[in-house]
Amino acid sequence: MSVGLVLEVDEARRVDQFRRFTRLMAGVVMGIALAVLIGWQFDLPILTRVLPIWVVMVPNTSVGLAVLSAGLWCSSLKPSTSLLLLVRLTGGVGILLGGLTLLEYFAQIDIGLDLLLPFEHQQSLSMKFPGRMAFATALCLLLCGMALVLRNSPRLSQMCSVTSLFISLMAIIGYCFGVSALYSVGMYSVVAAHTALALLLLSAGQLASLPNSKLIELLTAKSAGGTIARSLLLRIPLIVLGIGSILLVGEQLGYYEGRFSLALMATLSISTLVAVILQIAGKLHHIDHAREYSQQSLAALNTQLEQRVIERTAELKTANAKLTKEVELRIEIEDESRRLSLTDELTGLHNRRSFFLLAEQMLRNSRRNGLPCLLFFVDLDGLKKINDAHGHEAGDLAIMACAQVLKAAFRENDVVARIGGDEFVALAVDICEPTELISERIRTLVDEFNNSDHCRYPIGLSIGAICCSPQELKPLAELLANADALMYADKQQRKQARQTT
């Protein structure tokens, strides 16, 4: 599997995990909001305020939470134009509800929003403004609504969600440590405990619904930074809250006073955080050591791979050189085979096959270019007598002598061939000499050979020659037949001449 494909799979898995977390948060907040509305409908204080000493969650707050959680759920689905419009619409409801409530606080007016929902039990609340949500609650609803509307700007949406999360977290810490200043503004603007919890979950879900944001990318990264962020964000809040809760219980039991509790909390927090930091540092050291070992292993593998490449390259060069030699040898063998297939083995002249191939081509050129041609048909006289009297070796010498005579009588570009045991042919194109002159030259060369010291067995040649103009050229077979007839006539004439003498 390629690196790019692995990264795509990891990205898809990360997005799917955050979608599930977003839906979980939206479902929990929706459950809290609906439970509160049911409590107002049926006058169930355990649902509206959880504990008798806590304040209630007013209906406007529960409706705002329900609408925003529905928008958060829709934001985790497959994007479409209708869903995007619905998400922005729910965000707009949160902005409107929170913004109008803040306007009531700042302008000190009542626009009738507090008792808009028809729940009779709101009138019995011992509040200055029955049904009005707390100032901090209205601000968080406004921020959460803006986070949904501004989803196309991840940075702004993230800032709104983080601010809302921080405000709701302060309210929860205030409830844990009994510090009312953290969850109330004056006597009549108190954030309910389950309201703070629902806003915290809603803000966390909105952060998780932005998988492409820098914060979420850092928290889910497999790098050292991502490891540190996840470890510290999970441990530090739990450690600090745990130490604070334990010290608060000791202070309430009278074991120590407030300043001692504060000093003890600072000491324990520092000691615990140092231990956490050392543990994370050890994990990072282990990661760096593993990375260094991996780099060394990779370097060693690269070295081995380079060595193998060098060895393999040398082997390929050797094999290539050997293959090249084999190819050259095969080409030589094929050329020699081709030459042998077109050459008479005894005389070195063209053989019958080669002559017919070349002659046809030469005749076509002669017709095309208007060139005259001469065709000679030559027969070695008395070859059978030589074989019978002196053996086939003597006959071969006579044949070779005839071939040498013909090669000397014609030009290099003329085709001289042995087409039978004692039969030879010669084809000359674009030649100005008459046939009688060439025939006389052949006979002169024969006489010179017979009178030389190299002659062991005298030879005699019967010659038939024809000359054809380009317009008179006939098929090769017909030309050979005519030259053969003239050669036979010459042989008979010479035979009669010898008998007369």
CA dist 316 and 44 (Å) reads 87
**Helix, strand, coil percentages for the chain (3-state, nearest 5):** 70, 5, 20
Q: What is the mean pLDDT of each run of 10 residues along the chain (501 residues)?
A: 52 76 94 92 85 84 94 89 91 93 88 72 62 88 94 88 91 81 64 92 90 66 67 70 72 67 68 71 74 83 88 85 72 55 84 88 85 91 85 88 92 90 90 88 90 83 87 81 91 82 62
CA dist 294 and 469 (Å) reads 89
Q: Which of 220, 251, 279 finishes a domain? A: 220
Residue with tokens 């969600």: 161
- Could you tell me which residues are beta bridge partners of residue 379? 423, 462
Residue 230 belongs to a domain: no
Q: Which of 191, 220, 249 finishes a domain? A: 220
User: What pLDDT, in 10s, does the model give residues 27-37?
Assistant: 999 999 999 99
Residue 247 belongs to a domain: no
Cα 218 to its chain centre, rounded Å, is 28
Q: 188: phi > 0 → left, psi -120 to 50 → alpha, else beta; which?
A: alpha
Q: Are strands 461-468 and 423-429 parallel, antiparallel or unpaired?
A: unpaired
* The overall pTM is greater than 0.75: no
CATH of the domain at 364: 3.30.70.270
Query: 426 by DSSP, 3-state: which?
Result: strand
Write the DSSP assignment of 272-320 as a string of letters: HHHHHHHHHHHHHHHHHHHHHHHHHHHHHHHHHHHHHHHHHHHHHHHHH
| The two three-digit tokens of residue 394, written as one number | 């003597």
Burial of 195 (0-12, 13-18, 19+ CB in 10 A): buried
Q: Cβ atoms within 10 A of the Cβ of 412, count?
A: 6
**What sign for the dihedral angle of Cα 443, 445, 449, 452?**
positive
User: What pLDDT, in 10s, does the model give residues 245-261?
Assistant: 777 777 667 766 666 66
Q: Cβ atoms within 10 A of the Cβ of 348, count?
A: 12
Query: Residue 27: what pLDDT?
Result: 95
Query: Residue 140: what pLDDT?
Result: 94
Q: Which of 193, 220, 247 finishes a domain? A: 220
Residue 441 belongs to a domain: yes
Structural domain count, the chain:
2
Residue 184 belongs to a domain: yes
**How many residues are recorded in the chain?**
501
Residue 269 belongs to a domain: no
Q: Which domain holds residue 477?
A: 352-500
DSSP structure class, residue 471: G
Cα 70 to its chain centre, rounded Å, is 41
Query: Residue 391: what pLDDT?
Result: 85
Residue 398 belongs to a domain: yes
CA dist 88 and 93 (Å) reads 9
Residue 254 belongs to a domain: no
Residue 206 belongs to a domain: yes
